[in-house]
């Protein structure tokens, strides 16, 4: 049964939220074997308040985070993260049937994961920024040379906000992620806030393939939002 039929509009968010997940969640929804990428350069784009980069760096992986908001100082970005956390928790509570809560052991578990990610991100932000680990960007442009990164990860932005960003933005952003990448781009999820797959997915894949970019839709061991158990992979 398609549970989204209970709430055809899905989760209602007022804005692109400054929100993020932990490395252990990234490992699942990007189907990542980090031992394979140990001596690689990884870009997380846009990373929001995720702690993937902070945690990966602690494991000795060269990882870089970028986001529209990384020009902000620590105090302001923490206020923004707290406000958006409250916004998501309030709105997700209105559409609980769209999610598999057992993934987190219920909403309290979900909140704990979100707080952990945010705390790890916030603890790393100031030093990491000074070390060039948190870079302000405005997609669809990136300030990196061609093939600067082995692996590029893009979570919970593309396709999710397709009511706010048009097809051209999606295509140009994906081409830019591909330009700065030497091996693989992984994008998750394929669904929007309405819990439906991106309506122009076939069109997008055709456009990428016609530019001789190999694409694959890959099953991942993660399904918090019901139906969101696949990622899009671009392979060089």
Ligand X SMILES: C[S@@+](CC[C@H](N)C(=O)[O-])C[C@H]1O[C@@H](n2cnc3c(N)ncnc32)[C@H](O)[C@@H]1O
Q: Could you tell me how many residues make up the chain?
A: 236
Nearest approach in angstroms of CB 232 to ligand X is: 14
Helix (H) or strand (E) holding 175: helix 167-179
Helix (H), strand (E) counts: the chain: 6, 7
Which C-beta is closer to ligand X: that of 42 or that of 50? Answer: 50
- DSSP assignment letter at 191: B
Q: By CB under 6 A, is residue 156 in contact with ligand X?
A: yes
Is 178 a binding residue for ligand X by CB under 6 A? The answer is no
Residue pair 147/192 in contact by the 8 Å Cβ criterion: no
Residues 158-177 that bind ligand X (CB under 6 A): none
Q: According to the binding rule CB under 6 A, does residue 47 interact with ligand X?
A: yes
204 within 8 A of 223, measured Cβ to Cβ: no
Task: Kindly write out the interface string for residues 93-132 of this chain, putting x where it contacts ligand X by CB under 6 A and - elsewhere.
Answer: ----------------------------------------
Instruction: Verify binding: residue 30, ligand X, rule CB under 6 A.
Output: no
Binding test (CB under 6 A) with ligand X, winner from 157, 159, 178, 224: 157
Q: Which is nearer to ligand X, 55 or 67 (CB)?
A: 67
Minimum distance from residue 68 beta carbon to ligand X (Å): 4
Cβ closest to ligand X, residue 128 vs residue 155? 155
Strand order in the sheet with 181-188: 134-136, 62-67, 41-44, 149-155, 181-188, 230-235, 214-219
- Confirm or reject binding of residue 50 to ligand X (CB under 6 A): yes
Q: Which of 4, 10, 19, 159 binds ligand X (CB under 6 A)?
A: 19
List 11, 13, 20, 41, residue binding ligand X (CB under 6 A): 20
137 binds ligand X (CB under 6 A): yes
Backbone angles phi, psi at 10, to 5 degrees: 65, -160
Q: How far is it, in rounded angstroms, from Cα 50 to Cα 65? A: 9
87 backbone φψ class: left, alpha, beta (φ>0; ψ -120 to 50) = alpha
Tokens standing for residue 123 = 């603890």
Kindly list the residues in this chain that would bind ligand X in the complex (CB under 6 A).
16-21, 46-48, 50, 67-69, 137-139, 155-157
């Amino acid at each position: 049964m398609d549970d989204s039929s209970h709430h055809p509009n899905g989760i209602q968010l007022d804005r692109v939220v400054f929100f993020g997940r932990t490395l252990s969640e990234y490992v699942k929804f990007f189907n990542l074997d980090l031992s394979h990428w140990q001596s690689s350069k990884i870009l997380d784009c846009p990373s929001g308040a995720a702690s993937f980069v902070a945690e990966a760096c602690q494991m000795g992986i060269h990882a870089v985070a970028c986001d529209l908001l990384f020009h902000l100082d620590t105090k302001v970005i923490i206020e923004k993260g707290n406000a958006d956390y409250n916004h998501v928790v309030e709105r997700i509570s209105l559409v609980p049937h769209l999610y598999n809560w057992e993934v987190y052991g219920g909403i309290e578990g979900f909140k704990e994961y979100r707080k952990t990610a945010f705390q790890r991100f916030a603890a790393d932000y100031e030093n990491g920024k000074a070390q060039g680990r948190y870079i302000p960007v405005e997609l669809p442009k990136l300030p990196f040379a061609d093939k600067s990164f082995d692996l590029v990860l893009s979570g919970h932005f593309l396709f999710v906000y397709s009511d706010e960003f048009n097809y051209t933005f999606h295509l140009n952003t994906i081409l830019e992620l591909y330009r700065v990448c030497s091996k693989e781009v992984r994008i998750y999820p394929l669904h929007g806030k309405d819990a439906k797959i991106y309506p122009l997915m076939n069109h997008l894949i055709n456009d990428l393939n016609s530019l001789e970019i190999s694409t694959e839709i890959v099953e991942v061991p993660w399904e918090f939002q019901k139906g969101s158990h696949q990622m899009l992979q671009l392979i060089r």
